[in-house]
Amino acid sequence: MGSQLNSEKTTAVSINDDGVTLRLKAPITLPVEAESICPDCFVGCQQSEILALPVFCGRRRKMLGDIFSVSGEASDRITVEGDLTHFKRIGQGMSRGRLTLRGDGGMHIGAYMKGGEICVEGNTRDWTGAHMTGGMIRIRGNAGHFTGAAYPGEIRGVNRGTIIVHGDVGNETGARMRRGLIVVEGHTGECTGAGMIAGSVFVFGKLGARAGAGNKRGSIVALGETAPMLPTYQYQCRAQFGFLGVYLRQIRKWGIAVSDDLLKGSFRRFSGDVTALNKGEILIHD
């Protein structure tokens, strides 16, 4: 009980905290390696130290202060303002706190993330939340390809954590994920859940072609339209699945419109991929 109180107390402190705000001084089109924009880096830093954190801008090493004006210090709550389309690896490996992007984000946002929350008010590019092992990423706009996917060559990808995309996503969303949840309010590209080991992907828009190719034990839930299924999935039954209600009510709490129709609806279950373990499934809402 005591430890629980303590943890509530620490949470309370960070909520009262005003946090650190970064404002982009001028638009940047060179690619920027910005893994230093991360709550774990900022939390123990005074403002001068935050200003001096390194970023690679093109091939030149610069300081955060060269690119951003900074207000606030020593916090794990970060707000970044400006177009960060060309900023890579923001929030990479973060384990705590909250990172808010008021604008678009670039590639690899929240890759290897362990905990905390990332909220992007615009769009992000490829590899959002790749290899994450905990925490939550919420994208108000669209995300690029390989959202919540494993990097090339890696056998296992995302292992726990939640990614919510309110817009559309590109190809290979959740590829080779092992655990965790990805919710897409819009449409998905091709090969959603390719090579999934386990985990769940919910798609409210149109589920793209070749979903679940090589899927071992993962669940893909299509709540809207679907492109033609792979021939390696077999129709099994039509049923109402109790566990889907649990998921969908939680998703509704996260702010996605889930109609009562969906909650009560029946689903067709396809099992596959028969070329892998055949323990995976695609559930399609009638």
Q: For residue 60, state whether it binds other proteins (rule: CB under 8 A).
A: no
Q: How far is the CB of 127 from other proteins (least distance, A)?
A: 13
Q: How far is the CB of 131 from other proteins (least distance, A)?
A: 10
Q: How far is the CB of 150 from other proteins (least distance, A)?
A: 9
Tokens representing 18?
């005003």
Name which of 80 and 111 has its Cβ closer to other proteins. Answer: 111
Q: How far is the CB of 33 from other proteins (least distance, A)?
A: 13
- Please give the residues from 132 up to 171 whose contact with other proteins meets the rule CB under 8 A: 151-155
Name which of 2 and 152 has its Cβ closer to other proteins. Answer: 152
Name which of 154 and 225 has its Cβ closer to other proteins. Answer: 154
CA torsion sign for 258, 259, 265, 267 is negative
Name which of 152 and 231 has its Cβ closer to other proteins. Answer: 152
Tokens representing 77?
């709550």
Name which of 181 and 213 has its Cβ closer to other proteins. Answer: 213
| Per rule CB under 8 A, count of chain residues that contact other proteins | 5
Cα(149)–Cα(217) distance, rounded to whole angstroms? Answer: 16
Please list, in sequence order, all residues whose beta carbon lies within 8 angstroms of the beta carbon of residue 197, skipping any fewer than 6 positions away: 156, 176, 177, 178, 216, 217, 218
CA end-to-end distance (rounded Å), the chain: 46
Please list, in sequence order, all residues whose beta carbon lies within 8 angstroms of the beta carbon of residue 198, skipping any fewer than 6 positions away: 177, 178, 179, 216, 217, 218
Q: Which residues bind other proteins (CB under 8 A)?
A: 151-155
